[in-house]
Amino acid sequence: MAAMEKKLSSCDFLASDNNSKENYLRVIERTAKAITNSFKDSSSYSKLTPQELKKAIFVENMLPENGIGEDGLFECLEKKVLPNMLRTSSTDYMAHLHTLTLLPTIASELIIATYNQSMDSWDQSPAATEIEVETCKFLCKLYGYGENAGGCFTSGGSQSNMTSLLMARDWFCRTKLNYDVKKRGLPPEYNKFRFYTSEISHFSMEKSCHLMGLGYDSVVKVPVDSKMKMDLTALENLIAQDVKNGNIPVCAVATIGTTDYGSIDNVAEMRKICDKYGMHLHADAAYGSAVILSPDYKNRIGNLSLCDSVTVDFHKMFLMPISCSAVLAKDDANFEVFELHADYLNREEDEEAGYTNLVGKSIQTTRRFDALKVWCAFQYYGQSGYANIVNTTIGNAHYFYERLKADSAFQVFIEPEISSVVFRLDASDDVNKAVRRKLIHEDGIVIGQTVYDGKTCLKFTLLNPLVTHEKLDSLMAEIKRLGEISK
């Protein structure tokens, strides 16, 4: 006999009838309980190896003939998925730039998913569009831009960077070569275009240049100095050499917080060089952008309003759920790259009447209402709340650096400017690698690993403001212990 299909009712959705509302509340509460129950101890991970995990999450049939329903689903989630999730809120997690998330921003995610607005046109997201527009206006002001500036939310720093490089490319071709890339494609001299960024900048630079049809060869990697900041003499020499060789400098990218070290390039000096050669200056502040909210440390990131565009990631140091990022441009007109009119979506006559259709500012069409998270967290915590978060994490990085420096079992190289500390046990690369693996599978502690000066290093990305000095001391002791037994 053919199996019965499950018949849908309003209880499968949130609708206006009471049954549906009660069911919504029940399912949300059940989900919240299942999540909180999975936080059984303070570790960040269940310790399983990749092979063990594959078994743990295995389901016989991904698409059963008849669905397993609510009880079946929760049982499956509670047994297979939730216990093995990485708990980014644990103070034992400090590997990467993704973080624990502030509760008001988790509440925002529920709102985002429930109302499911798409940001492409006003008639799909009226209030959401106005909130994103106001949030971007505020962000432009926060980073020092004037009235002509504009911004848009993106899926992350990589897309924000690509958006900026596209704006730089088209701006350069329009204003310097009198050439319309949107209409005609790349100009004949495209393979002479050059984009300058430090050798430790994010790989989204190369990726973007490839996707823009310019290739990896268009990216010039500028050496860094002993503090892992772009060497500005080298930058100017490389540009001058390129001009001499017939290449065409288009854009320079300052990294405001490198992914590994948190080191910060000097935008004031880069601005002077870019002005001299008629180049666009972009700030990749995916990591360091939150530092602006700390009166104590904001001058560390420099004056970002000197840059023509800025990448701001909210799903890193701002402690918001993935994904949440914005790209800001000093001249809103540069977003023209993405403007395209479709009869069914964003008619010009509507836009003239004041209906904003944000599809004209984005690589994406359907797009999440991520701006709500920023709006909620800024309202909830205010300037001082965020200053406190930033100060705590920078303070922790400073404390840890000093402790490592004072202990001969460790080597530490770069004084942290933000919240990342790269160090190593004074032992072989193999010992350092073994320690990181043992931390994961014996302790459920997840830390980072990178390479400095050809040597394997360990990395703490200290974005969790709940980390205490005592916690850092105990982690140091544990790393030493594991180092001893790994020799």
Ligand X SMILES: *Cc1c(COP(=O)(O)O)cnc(C)c1O
From residue 141 to residue 170, the character string flagging contacts with ligand X as x (rule: CB under 6 A) and all else as - is ---------------xxx--x---------
Structure token digits, residue 402 = 């000093």
Contacts of 276 (CB under 8 A, 6+ apart): none
Structure token digits, residue 337 = 């790259």
Give the nearer residue to ligand X in terms of CB position, either 82 or 206: 206
If we measure between CA atoms, which residue out of 486, 465, 314 comes closest to residue 393?
465
If we measure between CA atoms, which residue out of 259, 393, 433 comes closest to residue 424?
433
Least distance to ligand X, CB of residue 459, Å: 13
Give the nearer residue to ligand X in terms of CB position, either 160 or 218: 160
For residues 129 and 103, what is the distance between their CA atoms, to the nearest angstrom? 23
Least distance to ligand X, CB of residue 262, Å: 9
Sign of CA dihedral 23, 28, 31, 32: negative
From residue 390 to residue 429, the character string flagging contacts with ligand X as x (rule: CB under 6 A) and all else as - is ----------------------------------------
From residue 174 to residue 213, the character string flagging contacts with ligand X as x (rule: CB under 6 A) and all else as - is ----------------------------x-x---------
- Residue 194: exposed, middle, or buried by beta-carbon count in 10 A (0-12, 13-18, 19+)? buried
321 binds ligand X (CB under 6 A): no
If we measure between CA atoms, which residue out of 419, 422, 420, 415 comes closest to residue 395?
419
From residue 84 to residue 103, the character string flagging contacts with ligand X as x (rule: CB under 6 A) and all else as - is -------------x------
Structure token digits, residue 119 = 């940001």
Residue from the set 135, 164, 198, 255 that interacts with ligand X by CB under 6 A: 255
Q: What is each CA distance from 2 to 66, 70, 198, in whole angstroms?
A: 10, 22, 63
For residues 367 and 121, what is the distance between their CA atoms, to the nearest angstrom? 10
The amino acid present at 296, given as its one-letter code, is: D
Least distance to ligand X, CB of residue 379, Å: 23
334 binds ligand X (CB under 6 A): no
For residues 433 and 29, what is the distance between their CA atoms, to the nearest angstrom? 42
Residue from the set 195, 196, 261, 287 that interacts with ligand X by CB under 6 A: 287
Residue whose structure tokens are 């001969």: 408
284 binds ligand X (CB under 6 A): yes
From residue 300 to residue 319, the character string flagging contacts with ligand X as x (rule: CB under 6 A) and all else as - is -------------x------
Residue from the set 224, 286, 359, 418 that interacts with ligand X by CB under 6 A: 286
User: Contact residues for ligand X (CB under 6 A)?
Assistant: 97, 156-158, 161, 202, 204, 255, 257, 259, 284, 286-287, 313, 325
